[in-house]
Structure 1
Amino acid sequence: MKIKQELSVKTNLITREGYLQLQQEHDHLWNEKRPEVTKIVSWAASLGDRSENADYQYNKRLLRQIDRRVRYLRKRIPDLKIVDYSPVQDGKVFFGAWVEIENEAGECKNFRIVGPDEIYDRNDYISIDSPMARALLKKQVDDDFEVMTPQGAKQWYVNNITYQK
């Protein structure tokens, strides 16, 4: 099982879907995965010599990873602020927007601007803390904007903005 790495995060904003997903992850780890791994660790420990017991060592490490992630989620979830869609946002890029942009070469990108806790395992989400998202905020369809990259400034054009309602 792959446990997500915790990074230092700046923004405490999250979409309702992202919040529910974090709660579901916590509940799964605490109520299902941890008891399952604890049983395996207990069984492996009962076999005797733990220093050469691969089941014991692997599952003990997995238990530490689960506990670390649960501690992180318990600390992080209460600090998060859920941002729901508001009709006032229509027509401009704000948190939670699905945005389609295009550069001078005609390359199109389509992604959703979300909180830093939601971007894992998703190629179509970007963090509100990213330079691209910061440059996009409050832009409208047909607006041009510039993003600084390691290769220099890049020009983009906003094609479409939608929200999940």
Structure 2
Amino acid sequence: MKPTRPLHEGPPITPAGFAVLRARYDHLLGTERPQIVEVVSWAAGNGDRSENGDYLYGRKRMREIDRELAHLARRMKALRVVDPAGQQDQSRCWFGATVTIADEDDNHRTVTLVGDDEQDAGKGMIGWSAPMTRALRGAAVGDLRRVVLPGGDKEWEVISIEYPVKG
């Protein structure tokens, strides 16, 4: 018998990040897949399927949708939703913190530590397993942290730490 994983384990994700995954799953299952099933059914009724582009494309797209649905279902089951507003120690950098850091040249950067499934570097959302996040975990305001990046090491000072307000 396969051992079950305790509920508290698993990669973290914010409630907003989980809602995005859930919305994608619901859209695929409730909108896109039924539309493709309808196209495939219509195309199958048109006779020779070997040269029927609508049928062939529809079947291919249905397989893609089914693969994505299975992937999303596995991810949502494995993830652990963590509300950053409920973080006990808000004086340090933990999951969900929005952190302002400054490098040696006093260039400021603000990043939010989020789950790997919701990371978007362009929006300043850094994944939980990224090198920057690993370096910042547990840091307090005023701490210096060295980040090992592909372009070389860089040192950052934590300027401020903020968490969302409960509500």
If the TM-score is normalised by the length of the shorter chain, which range does it land in?
Answer: 0.7 to 0.9
Residue in 2 that maps onto 1:133: 133
Partner of 1:157: 157
User: How many Å apart are 1:55 and its aligned residue?
Assistant: 2.8
- Counterpart of 1:71, as a letter, is A
Deviation at 1:92, TM superposition (A): 1.0
Change (3 A) 1:138 1:30: same
Q: Identity of paired residues, percent?
A: 37
- Give the 3 Å change call, closer, same or farther, for CA 119–33 of structure 1 in structure 2: same
Tell me the TM-score normalized by structure 1. 0.82
Would you identify which runs of 4 or more consecutive aligned residues in structure 1 move more than 4 Å? none
Structure 1 unaligned residues grouped into runs of 5+: 1-10
Q: What is the RMSD of the two structures over their aligned residues, measured on CA atoms? A: 2.1
Written as runs of structure 1 = structure 2, the 5 A alignment for 1:103-122 is 103-119=103-119
Aligned partner of 2:103: which letter? N
| Structure 1 residue 142 displacement after superposition | 2.1
State the alpha-carbon separation in 1 of the partners of residues 49 and 23 from structure 2.
Answer: 33
Change (3 A) 1:75 1:122: farther
Name the CA distance, whole Å, in 2 between partners of 1:106 and 1:152.
Answer: 18
8 Å CA contact 2:120–2:126 kept in 1: the answer is no
Aligned residue number for residue 79 of structure 2: 80
Relative to structure 2, which stretch is displaced further, 104-113 or 130-139?
104-113
5+ residue gaps, structure 2: 1-9
CA shift in 2, pair 1:121/1:136, >3 Å: closer
* Distance in 2 between residues matched to 1:21 and 1:89, nearest whole Å: 27
Once the two structures are superposed, the pairs formed by residues 14-25 of structure 1 within 5 Å of their partners are: 14-25=13-24
Larger Rg: 2
- Residue 50 (structure 1) shift: 3.4
User: 2:5 — aligned with what?
Assistant: none
Q: Distance in 2 between matches of 1:56 and 1:110?
A: 49
Normalization by structure 2: what TM-score? 0.81
